[in-house]
Structure 1
Amino acid sequence: SILADGTSNQQYTSLTWRTYRYIQLKVTTKDEPLVIDDIYGTFTGYPFVLKTSFESGNDTDKKMLEIGWRTARLCAWETYMDCPYYEQLQYIGDARIQALVTLYNTNDDRLVRNALTLMDNSRIAEGITLSRYPTDLHQEIPTFSLWWIGMLHDYWMYRPDANFIKDKLPGERQVLSFFQRYQGADGSLKNVPYWIFSDWVDNRKGWDYGVAPIGKDGYSSVLDLQLMWTYQVAAEMETAIGFKDIAKLYLLKAAQLKQTIQKKYWDKTKQLYADTEEKNLFSQHANSLAILSGMVTGTESKALAQHLLTDTFMAQASIYYKYYLHQALIKAGLGNNYKKWLGKWQENIDLGMTTWAEMSDVSGTRSDCHAWGSSPNIEFFRTILGVDSDAPGFAKIKIEPHLGDITHISGYMPHPNGMVSTGYKNEAGKWAIDISLPVNTTGRFLWKGKVFPLKAGMNNFNL
């Protein structure tokens, strides 16, 4: 409460900031009236400048991108933040998605590099990072340390800054060394300490405060699959800019895990990977990671992806983990249906939200503003328009659109060498396609099973 002393031109500013949607002002006067000359808010946040355009003629698309960008802006200050109201802390699980939103929508990667460096500096004596940093309230989430390695790989693929990543590889090795201490003879993880958070899953048997089910013998497919995936992406970086012998070790460990996971968790009857050896619990999480880590490929991955969409007995991914679910579905060849998977975001809009809620239970969510839900601000460009990195440093560009029933769409996004623009227009069954790549950059265009080379500058196709 604020007590006015009756003089003119009094001012009040809070000592720190906090996000809000509405302000309720209650005034109690005594013998004299109180005059409020003005009341206003000041926006506080990192000065990102949006460098993208997405023109589909669809108002919902526009709304989703606006809400996602607003959420991303409000969750970025000196560092990324999980939310601008409660903790205001940089969590790795959130930051990986936030960093990709940054890389796809701006040409300013300073906050990404800052996040990667701070997390590297947060590593404890055992080798893993803290779950969130900077903060003096220590919390360890080992699975987030694995996502930090994934975040390193993202930056390596989208920015030509290999020396920066090379400097972080000792930290990556320490993280994986930590996990190796808890791998058994068959490679499977057991008794990993601290909070093994995967996702906020509502009312599903076996899920305990964000931790995926663990079997009677202490094993978890979600944990084993995430470690396998991390060995793979770490091996890619080590092969290119680190030590090839370390890469070989990682690939051997990944291959061992692949055999173990298939033996322990594959359910032949349901044609799914179970969460535990007992094979009585299943999740979108385990099966998404199975596709992303290459446990299944080709027609097998597409069949598994169909199960992800139809088998409702599986524990469902939250708005956060849908990033990984959608990546798996796209990798399996279902990307043309991407816009059909955005029901949770539409629910936010229908409830009048202006930022993305933290939880899938939108009406009961604690935080109304969590940028880990802003993944459409990545996928509208990477999946729908089809723009992705095809080599470390974004040195080559892959254009593989997933248009679904869209007949007219265009957009552009930043690239280290300039801008990438795409335009697709269908008239009378014929597609007019315009793709422009920045200077000194080549790529390839994938369209209905065919591959076309792309040169710097304008590329036109009539297909």
Structure 2
Amino acid sequence: MNWQASWIWSGMEKSPRNEWRCFKHSFELRNGGIKEAKIAITADSRYVLHVNGKQCGRGPIRSWPAEQSYNIHNVAHLLQEGENTIAVLVMHYGVSTFQYLLSQGGLLAQLDVEMASGQILTIGTDERWLTAKHAGYDTRSQRMSTQLGFSESVDARAWDENWKRGTCASGSDQWVRAITVGKPGDEPWPSLLGSPILPLTEEPVWPVRIESLKETTPVSFTTAIDIRNAMDPGSVGHANPVSFVGYVAVVIRASEETEATLGILSRFHALRGISLGGEYRAASDMEGEQPERYARLRLNQGDNLLWLDFAGSDHGTGLHFGIDCEVAFELVSPPFANNAEEDSSPFVLIGPFTTHESIDHRDEVHPLSGYEGFGGSKALDEDAFEHFDVYKSFRSVREVAGLSRFAALAKPIPNSLVSRASMFARSIWKREERSLLIPMNLQSACMANSEPAVIISRTGSETELILDFGKMWSGYLRFEVDAPAGTMLDFYGYEYMKDGWRQDTYILDNTLRYVCKEGRQTYESPVRRGLRYLMVTVSNTTRPVKLYGVQLLQSNYPVAEIGRFHSSDTLLNDIWEISKHTTRLCMEDTFVDCPAYEQAFWVGDSRNEALVNYYLFGETDMVKHCLELVPGSRFQTPLYTDQVPSGWSSVIPNWTFFWAIACLEVVEHTADTTFAKEIWPKVRFTLEHYLDRLDDRGLLFIRGWNLLDWAPIDQPRNGVVTHQNAILARTLKAAAKLAEAAGEASQGIRFEEASERLAAAINEHLWCEERQAYIDCLHAEGRRSDTISIQTQIIAFLNGIAEGDRKSRIANYLAQVPDDFVQIGSPFMAFFYYEALEELGRFDLMLDDMRENFGQMIEHEATTCWEMYPDYADNRPNPKMLTRSHCHAWSAAPGYFLGACVLGVRKASVGWRKVRVAPQPANLKWARGAVPLPDGGRIDVAWRLKEESGGRRFELEVHAPESIVVEMVAPKGYEADALLRRL
């Protein structure tokens, strides 16, 4: 790309929090037709591009600041003779997330137009462009979660959307010239890389029905406070957990004495309790269905001191809370707080009381992890932090006057960290609600219909509709409405409900507020959301509101659904379908763990997700892109982080190991030796650092997040973890093969030998003769674990650690898991279990496990695969909670194994030039389907069992491209009637 444009921004703040900034430039095209026109564009943090009022692009894809990605959009069809306008909305986060690292605001765009005459016209961002802060977006809207950016609250009355067309009826005085903040190649974006993947889809999806209709009364007051950023302002620069001890105080000024209810509407573990007028209530003693917590309190007429007690670790959830009572009240600052500044909220921070550095467990794996020795109901260690006596004495404060002696420690919390209202809290906490009959005309009007849904709200009440989109989806909300100015529409998306119970997203603010201008209008959100159900609350309207439709623009990587599976077992067919839908939804610009809560690229998850994708869609470019992103985290740690690109400097060693294995698997899948040569030095780099951490016994001894499964395996954050060592042994063997593919076989010898030594050390130190099984771990102090888990046995078996009698014994455990072993807790772990069962040839057990564990998802009407099994669902704060995330790509194992095992399609050579088709019927009668090939084309398979007087026969028909060598094998005990057809 021959860049002639400059990076531009405003002359205001370098990296503003949650800023929505508009840029535009008008130009003329004369004398001749347009042959071709493309815009190369990127922004920090995200952009939406319009040409002559037409939206034509979003981006950029997630990338490291040091390798900033840009997209190229074809726009020739949008340009016209005469005046044209390029308009770009840039959303700058101003905080680090799990897919973005804090940098600075900026826009870089260049339009290159080739005229029919041969003339080339180049228009790039520079000082001639105009910019203005979008006045319609509330910069005080709350964080969605620590993984994501901000929810949105937009007032359509405050900004003229004609700016996208180059004209504005109002607000023209807010537009100023942009300033240049750098040239391409300047810091903080020293390298610019064109996107290696295709643009994502945008497919309109309509609701399938209205789930419920209610008349509701809202609570008096709600808000959300970014406690993490208030306690540690520097935390905007990273996404690590922050530990703190301190208080937040505010004065409630009531017009008269009354009963009130205070509600906590988020899973905020650092909140220890609240105090109103000296009455202290521990968080654990508050009422409500966890994690919602409520306290009934007495407000006196006049000033009432409320303070909240915090001690613990917070990862950025945000504190959503509210106050409800029958009388008028307002929140005011304590009189000593010195927060007369315009940007100060009424809330005051007392503290934080800092921890001693000596116990702040810092290391290269979790460089900013913070002190985790307290939190929730755990007792505070008086030696843990400074000024404990001051912290303790504050607890005796009962009235406003008592705060004066703490004035030196008090500071106002800025308005920017306090939302005007919490739409999440308003959505899930209603003072009153009354169910209404859903008229059939309203039901049909909310679907794809030209007639509007007419919504009537009484004065003082709100109307709530819950729309069911039929399945989980992920993308951008769009709606059209006719309403009076000032009407408020609140949208809240969530994943699951059953029999009137709703699983609210307490660690995700999945909301949008839209304040209407007068008349008919359309709005399309630039914020990605995942949901199945959408609550729409209409309030503050003076006449009936006409809702012409709500859609979700489903957005994912553009894959063809080449894979097929259909069999004599309808339950397995349904399980395959939800595996396919899950994987598709979790393919964005990278694989993501889930479309709702995090939308993060978890490195280890993607190994299994890539394999599932190969059998469903056959996509390889995105897989390589994902794998190439991982080494970018080496500036955070040479061990590579577990999600990228991310501000959370977290390492799960197994996730790095799975990444290295996935690098080999994509090379074997595609025969791409160029990729092998490029990725090999990066694999070698991190594995060498892991080998440096082997102890005197030859075992990996490491402090980190030593995770494999959500089940209660003994997998401490410091010590020798058996499954981790076993996976490392397999990874070292994979590295040797990758080195050979890269033409560096001699370098791989070291890793092959290291693998053998590690396997021997595992067998020497981590086997328990008494239990005849591998123990889970050796703790840091040397204590041998008493825990035996099936997870550890699976990994030892699968990765070649167990041999001889030990391997035979473990094989028996896999066939009949002992009751006293820790059981599998997630579908992610089931993937490795199925790999082991495949090696054993126990396909019957594999299908039975799918029927039991994935079958319960189908029983609960799941349309996507759950993150975990119900017994391990985040300790199940509510028994109705079946899992945290209802759509998790790491859980889609059947999408792979049903094609690889039941259809029996496997590559027999690198790059799939040879294919082996050896179906495993288990207890099925017939099956048919298709598996994609990496270079295009597919393998179609259909088989059927026949029981005849002359014996058992196996009818097998395979369709394959002429260039593919196919070996067809019947199951044991059957005679084959095999037919090969060429596509």
Normalized against structure 2, the TM-score is what?
0.43
> Shift in Å at residue 6 of structure 1?
6.2
The farther-off stretch of 56-65 and 165-174 is: 56-65
State how far apart, in whole Å, the 2-side matches of 1:243 and 1:446 are.
Answer: 36
- 1:414 aligns to what? 932
> Shift in Å at residue 90 of structure 1?
0.5
The alignment partner of 1:26 has SS state of strand
- 1:435 aligns to what? 958
State how far apart, in whole Å, the 2-side matches of 1:225 and 1:76 are.
Answer: 29
Counterpart pick for 1:93 among 576, 596, 604 = 604
Root mean square deviation of aligned Cα: 2.7
State how far apart, in whole Å, the 2-side matches of 1:44 and 1:55 are.
Answer: 27
State how far apart, in whole Å, the 2-side matches of 1:435 and 1:116 are.
Answer: 33
- 1:425 aligns to what? 944
State how far apart, in whole Å, the 2-side matches of 1:120 and 1:246 are.
Answer: 19
Determine if the alignment matches structure 1 residue 347 to structure 2 residue 885.
no
The alignment partner of 2:939 has SS state of strand
> Shift in Å at residue 119 of structure 1?
1.3
Identity of aligned residues (%): 23
State how far apart, in whole Å, the 2-side matches of 1:262 and 1:11 are.
Answer: 65
Residues 163-197 of structure 1 show CA distances to partners (whole Å, capped at 9, x for unaligned) of 1122100011012111111112332111x233222
The alignment partner of 1:22 has SS state of strand
- 2:900 aligns to what? 382
- Taking a change above 3 Å as real, the CA distance of residues 297 and 435 of structure 1, as seen in their structure-2 partners, is farther
- 1:281 aligns to what? 787
Structure number with the bigger relative contact order (C-alpha 8 A, sep ≥ 6) is 1
Contact 1:439–1:456 under 8 Å retained in 2: no
State how far apart, in whole Å, the 2-side matches of 1:36 and 1:155 are.
Answer: 48
> Shift in Å at residue 22 of structure 1?
0.9
State how far apart, in whole Å, the 1-side matches of 2:728 and 2:515 are.
Answer: 59
Contact 1:357–1:368 under 8 Å retained in 2: yes
Higher Cα Rg: structure 1 or 2? Answer: 2
**Aligned length in residues:** 448
- Taking a change above 3 Å as real, the CA distance of residues 42 and 269 of structure 1, as seen in their structure-2 partners, is same
The alignment partner of 1:398 has SS state of strand
Contact 2:954–2:974 under 8 Å retained in 1: no
Contact 1:266–1:273 under 8 Å retained in 2: yes
> Shift in Å at residue 91 of structure 1?
0.5
- Taking a change above 3 Å as real, the CA distance of residues 46 and 36 of structure 1, as seen in their structure-2 partners, is same
Q: Please show how residues 288-303 of structure 1 align to structure 2 within 5 Å.
A: 288-296=794-802, 301=807, 303=809
The alignment partner of 1:409 has SS state of strand
Q: Please show how residues 304-343 of structure 1 align to structure 2 within 5 Å.
A: 304-308=810-814, 309-317=816-824, 318-342=826-850, 343=852
Residues 185-210 of structure 1 show CA distances to partners (whole Å, capped at 9, x for unaligned) of 332111x2332222211xx36345xx
Counterpart pick for 1:76 among 578, 587, 594 = 587
> Shift in Å at residue 307 of structure 1?
0.6
The amino acid that maps onto 2:838 is I
State how far apart, in whole Å, the 2-side matches of 1:52 and 1:324 are.
Answer: 22
Contact 1:291–1:331 under 8 Å retained in 2: no
State how far apart, in whole Å, the 2-side matches of 1:3 and 1:431 are.
Answer: 61
The alignment partner of 2:562 has SS state of coil
Extract unaligned runs of 5+ from structure 1: none
- 2:519 aligns to what? 8
- 1:371 aligns to what? 889
The amino acid that maps onto 1:273 is Y
Determine if the alignment matches structure 1 residue 197 to structure 2 residue 707.
yes
The amino acid that maps onto 1:329 is L
Contact 1:70–1:355 under 8 Å retained in 2: yes
- 2:32 aligns to what? none
- 2:555 aligns to what? 44
Contact 1:235–1:246 under 8 Å retained in 2: yes
Residues 343-401 of structure 1 show CA distances to partners (whole Å, capped at 9, x for unaligned) of 22111111222211212226342211111111110011012111122332223323332
Residues 65-92 of structure 1 show CA distances to partners (whole Å, capped at 9, x for unaligned) of 2211111121121111111112111001
Counterpart pick for 1:138 among 649, 653, 658 = 649
State how far apart, in whole Å, the 2-side matches of 1:397 and 1:5 are.
Answer: 59
Contact 1:284–1:325 under 8 Å retained in 2: no
- Taking a change above 3 Å as real, the CA distance of residues 166 and 29 of structure 1, as seen in their structure-2 partners, is same
More strand by percentage: 2
Q: Please show how residues 110-189 of structure 1 align to structure 2 within 5 Å.
A: 110-124=621-635, 126-189=637-700
> Shift in Å at residue 152 of structure 1?
0.7
State how far apart, in whole Å, the 1-side matches of 2:593 and 2:582 are.
Answer: 10
Contact 1:130–1:139 under 8 Å retained in 2: yes
The alignment partner of 1:357 has SS state of coil
Determine if the alignment matches structure 1 residue 244 to structure 2 residue 753.
no
The amino acid that maps onto 1:223 is Q
Residues 392-433 of structure 1 show CA distances to partners (whole Å, capped at 9, x for unaligned) of 222332333221111221222111353212222121221122
State how far apart, in whole Å, the 1-side matches of 2:922 and 2:514 are.
Answer: 59
> Shift in Å at residue 144 of structure 1?
0.9
Counterpart pick for 2:577 among 66, 88, 111 = 66
The alignment partner of 1:186 has SS state of coil
- 2:868 aligns to what? 359
The alignment partner of 1:11 has SS state of strand
State how far apart, in whole Å, the 2-side matches of 1:415 and 1:299 are.
Answer: 39
